[in-house]
Amino acid sequence: MTGPRTLFQKVWDAHVVTETTDGRTLLFVDRHLLHDGSFQPFQRLRDKGLPVAYPELCLATPDHYVSTHGRTIEILPEASAQRVLNDFARNTADFGVPTLKLGSGREGIVHIVGPELGFTLPGSLLVCGDSHTATHGALGALAFGIGASEVAHVQATQALWQLKPRTMRISVNNKLRAGVSAKDLALHIIASIGTAGAVGHVVEYAGIAIQALSVEQRCTLCNMTIEAGAKAGMIAPDETTYAYLEGRPYAPKGALWDQAVDYWRSLPTDAGAVFDKEVTLDGALVQTMVTWGTSPEQAIPISGRVPGLDTASDEEGRQGLAAAMRYMGLEAGQAMTDVAVDQVFIGSCTNARIEDLRDAAAVVRAIGGKARIPALVSPGSGSVKAEAEAEGLDRVFTDAGFRWGETGCSMCVGMNGDLVAAFKRCASTSNRNFAGRQGRDSRTHLVSPATAAATAMSGKLAGAPEVR
């Protein structure tokens, strides 16, 4: 392609192996992340007698099924989960895939360890058998989730057939206000464009508000891109990106680092490049957000009230609102800050990085006293856990009555026994509030770490005091 190109187009073009007349493109894959749910693809390789083509381009970590109560497999309440983790260890060993082993202190949620180890690099094409792989686009990678058959194909060939998606730019002008987080911004965007607003597109985030975000905050934003229906989310690499990556274990070293940075500087979207769709938002208008319903787009400022049925544009929309209210046990016009909550979860690939834990701990310190409801904090990786403990954040939480757990996906998806009971209400820093996501008939409110901490201390949905 000639002429000005977008960040996405540059990364896509650099990975094209071949194209077919029916529009399919074979792409080379630079990085492949695997987690403990990746057992089916290994069996497919065994059935065909195939090896993993480039194990050195893979990185595996247990995260979905691991317990937050300890690091042994036997501690898990379900035999099926124990079997999954045992199979994961056997598969990665048999196929020579580098693995962050359970109990090593280096394991963690796959979308947190990738960036923190420097395995995720600008300009790379990265895939994983998990929908929230979009997280890695925060560092300028083209990253997206793939299905089990595609995982097996990448393992066997290090390449993947894809149809080229369209492009979309979401520009957020003006900086976020003090106390407003990247999670709040993500929920604001999804509420603005809808859960189908970016279907078929790769989203590039741009603007003053985006440039001001740290890499960890950018990870939160890109993580939630899939909830707007997008294929992936991307942010152009800049000085913030380079400073974050330099010196990390998998990042280039010495002369290779200098060469890499020179290349990365060529990746940002060219002036005059055209996107298929453009959205512009004002960052100064973003408020502390909370979801009230069963979709991430059903999000409002925490100071707001459950919307009435008359806010829907058609009968189908009214029925959807009514169904969400029934499931969540809420009424139109009810103030969000009047909603009593049963428990709090701080964790997941969306919000379990060190900056997230610092934000939550700062709120706990500022409010003081004890949590009024059960609250679990699950750090996103062994490295995050160690850093938080070195800073004393674990003691801030435990002194206030929170449970300081081990790393893992935990209550985000509930595969490890961490669940929300039926008809109980949880304020969660995870990414999905679908019906039953955290347990059968559970009720989930998506919030930022600061809001989650304030809610734990209040017992009701609560905005955080300005402590940063």
- Work out the average pLDDT over 447-456: 98
Which residue ranges make up each domain of the chain? Answer: 7-164+237-264, 290-458
Give mean pLDDT, residues 154-168. Answer: 98
pLDDT of residue 466: 76
pLDDT at residue 468 greater than cutoff 50: no
How many whole angstroms separate alpha carbon 242 and alpha carbon 127?
22
pLDDT tops 70 at residue 1: no
Across residues 154-171, what is the average pLDDT? 98
Chain segment 186-204, per-residue pLDDT in tens: 999 999 999 999 999 999 9
Number of continuous H segments (helices) and E segments (strands) in the chain: 15, 18
How confident is the model over 310-347, as pLDDT tens digits? 999 999 999 999 999 999 999 999 999 999 999 999 99
Please give the pLDDT value at position 38. Answer: 86
Q: In percent, how much of the chain has pLDDT > 90?
A: 97
7-164+237-264 and 290-458, same CATH topology: yes
Domain 290-458: CATH superfamily is Aconitase, domain 3 (3.30.499.10)
162 by DSSP, 3-state: which? strand
pTM here?
0.97
**Alpha-carbon gap, residue 52 to 399, rounded angstroms:** 47
Topology annotation, domain 7-164+237-264: Aconitase; domain 3 (3.30.499)
The fraction of the chain above a pLDDT of 70, given in percent, is 99
Q: If pLDDT is split at 50, 70 and 90, which confidence band does 467 have?
A: low
Q: Name residues whose C-beta falls within 8 Å of residue 49's C-beta, 6 or more positions apart in sequence.
A: none
Q: What share of the chain is helix, strand, coil (3-state, %, to 5)?
A: 40, 20, 45
